[in-house]
Structure 1
Amino acid sequence: MRDGHTEVCRKYSLSPSLLRKWRQKYLAKGKEGLRDSYPRVDPQLRALEEENERLKRIIAKQALEIERGRPAVKSELLKKTSIGPRKR
């Protein structure tokens, strides 16, 4: 590589082979060759997808409990709690 390339590699902490690879991609395909080859995923979207999966697992677990005939703890507690007027 020429001295200019060496200076650029030192300035930006790049390996000469990486700079050479980028140069070859640019010469072959132009700017399109330097674009990411994989789609970027928005972190907020990823967090929402993880939350969605967690909620699906919870619903599936509750559906299994209902199907097996075992009432959920919450419904048992509601049955035992009286809803009558409060005494002071």
Structure 2
Amino acid sequence: RSRGENVIFRRRNLKINGYDIDLFVESDKNIYIVEVKIKPSKKHVNKLLRMAKIVEERFKKPAILILTGAMIGDDVERYAENKNVKIYRY
């Protein structure tokens, strides 16, 4: 809401084209895809990128990719940021 967006649809553990999406949020402007892992790796970043292509084609909206984790290595964080994936630590 703070970005001036209205949430249209929100679902945890959504399956699209064989991919399990931990948190999927569709707003009137964007699609948010959130992957939750204790210790994410570069393969999780790549999975988000593959999911983004499918979701953007299907919903005709840009995908905002978010990777969350408790133990995120510096190399994974740099890799994600270079791929335009947002990182949130918990």
Shorter chain as denominator, the TM-score bin is under 0.3
Larger Cα Rg: Structure 1 or Structure 2? 1
Indicate the structure with greater helix content.
1
Higher relative contact order, chain-length normalized (CA < 8 Å, sep 6+): 2
TM-score (norm 1): 0.23
Indicate the structure with greater strand content.
2
